[in-house]
Amino acid sequence: GQSLEQPSEVTAVEGAIVQINCTYQTSGFYGLSWYQQHDGGAPTFLSYNALDGLEETGRFSSFLSRSDSYGYLLLQELQMKDSASYFCAVRDVRRDDKIIFGKGTRLHILP
């Protein structure tokens, strides 16, 4: 089978740094994606890691390690508007390219 595991909730302070982890159990996928979803809104694409290592996009960075079956999303200089749910996702090549999402991590930011 395949699953992506994320913490259900994370709490951090405004201005701080937070890391949201995603571990997965699949042996064949193209890369790891991250999406952000605010309450009442649609998911929006944040980042994609095709290769191992760190990808940086402004305050957000994403990391992938295929050998460790692990990835994370790093959010720096947290702002209140970053309060949202964050989902990791993979496209599974061994399951006809189906997209599998993690159940999401709710990020709470304290002032």
Partner 1 sequence: EAQVTQNPRYLITVTGKKLTVTCSQNMNHEYMSWYRQDPGLGLRQIYYSMNVEVTDKGDVPEGYKVSRKEKRNFPLILESPSPNQTSLYFCASSLTGEGYTFGSGTRLTVV
Which residues of the chain form contacts with partner 1 (CB under 8 A)? 30-31, 33, 35, 41-45, 48, 50, 87, 89, 91, 96-104
Nearest distance, CB of residue 92 and partner 1, angstroms: 10
Here the tokens at position 10 are 């994370």
* Greatest Cα-to-Cα distance within the chain, rounded to the nearest angstrom: 44
Residue number, 89 or 107, with CB nearest to partner 1:
89
Smallest gap from Cβ 91 to partner 1, in A, equals 6
Any bridge partners for residue 84, and if so which?
107
Q: Which is nearer to partner 1, 31 or 74 (CB)?
A: 31
Nearest to 107 by CA among 91, 89, 85: 85
CA-only gyration radius of the chain, Å: 14
Shortest Å, Cβ 109 to partner 1:
21
